[in-house]
Amino acid sequence: MTRPLPRSARRDAHDNRARILDAARAVFGEDGLGAPVREVARHAGVAPATLYRRFPTKRALIAEALTQQRRACHTAVRDALADPDPWHGFQSLIQRICELHAHSRDFADTVMTAFPEAADPTADRGGALPAVTELARRARASGRLRPDFVVDDLVLMLMAHQGVLGVPSAARPAASRRFAAYVIEAFRAPPGTGAPASLPPFPELRPSGSPGPS
């Protein structure tokens, strides 16, 4: 029969886990999901063996550490879809996504499913994708979103927004807001009856056999 851990040992284990998750968010937020686990352990002030006792794989660590990021993404999508003005909701989603990314490099990794099979952002993206698709449909129907917009254009947006993370951190929020404003104008349908300039075909961003943009 396994005896329960003493209260002090349980408290130490809980504290170690919290420090590891805080460190993972900080390290992944600054360096992205490619940062090594040993850097997370160093940042947390624990031995790598201690980290691996709590999280046997890097994927398990990512899945737990990015829970807050995934929730923030879902909240942004849900709030945008609830807006009675679909174009305003669409704009607010762009602004919020860029804001989240500007504060954390791993946000783009989460959205673009860098570790799909482990962190399981694929499932989150799958849950959010119908809502974003519906928001885009409503915004197109209002005549204010260009008709050739596809949801995967948001992935291209994040890939381009990655450059904003290279500016000094103090200037990053303002640079991100300016970038979002440019992107919104690019997605906006032209006024009157003018047709938007035609776009090149959407590039293949997924492995062969995966579903395409919708």
pLDDT digits (tens, 9 = 90+) for 164-176: 888 888 898 999 9
| Residue 206, in any domain of the structure | no
Q: Is residue 204 part of a domain?
A: no
Largest CA distance in the chain: 77
Domain of residue 17, residue span: 10-65
CATH of residue 171's domain is 1.10.357
| Mean pLDDT on 110-136 | 60
Q: If you average pLDDT over every residue of the chain, what do you get?
A: 79
Asked whether residue 116 is domain-assigned, the answer is: yes
Highest-confidence range of 31-35, 132-136, 155-159, by mean pLDDT? 132-136
Residue 86 shares a structural domain with residue 143: yes
Q: pTM for the complete prediction?
A: 0.68
